[in-house]
Amino acid sequence: MAAARASLGRIVPESSILFLCDMQEKLRDKVLYFPQIVSVAARMLKVARLLDVPVLLTEQYPQGLGHTVPELGAQGLPAVSKTCFSMVPPLQQELDRRPQLRSVLLCGIETQGCILHTALDLLDRGLQVHVAVDACSSRSQTNRLVALDRMRQSGVFLSTSEVLILQLLKDAAHPQFKEVKALLPSYWPSTVCHPGVEEMFSFSLIFFFFFFFFFFWFVVLCL
């Protein structure tokens, strides 16, 4: 029965933690949807602070990739430097001193690299992993999609930031409900959550154009 409950992926602030992975200056012009990803991650950070959810932040080789971008709003939050892809080894002590921890909420870049490696290491520790897909990206949309699917196959819960935020709140009577609700936008850009939509639409237009072109000449030649 306990295993069945765990598989539901419920999250509560008391046993959750937010991981912010490698949103650094030198990646700004390389990662797709970087401004949107950072904006959503910043929202997750604000909510975590309102709900007393602990937050851990890493930077991948900051000597080369720079430091965390200021718009994340993580000033005052210590950044742990790393070279390994996974966030888990450098944060090992932080995890060990939280025996109540059950769920990790994961945001950042890149999906096929540090996010994937971190998720798998956390699963190895017996923790539930919840990836906010609208707060994770890559330089390649293909890599992003494949990595998300790979994580799903391994047992990671794929969610949006709003899904996770509402799970943490659980009740409109929550003392911080109004403050949190004010942080939620009325519109979410679909391209961030559902990569590939624009590409599929473009392909459909091209296919329609060529079909119409050949059909037109077929009719002309037949006449």
* Contact of 59 with 82, CB cutoff 8 Å: yes
Please report how the helices 116-124 and 141-154 are oriented relative to each other, as an axis angle in degrees rounded to 10: 10
Query: What tokens were used for 167?
Result: 């799970």
* Angstrom distance (rounded) from CA 75 to CA 98: 23
24: DSSP letter: B
Give which of 132, 141, 81, 77 is closest to 104, Cα–Cα.
Answer: 132
Point out the residues that are catalytic: 22, 82, 114
Q: Where are the alpha helices (DSSP H) in 11-140?
A: 34-50, 62-65, 92-96, 116-124
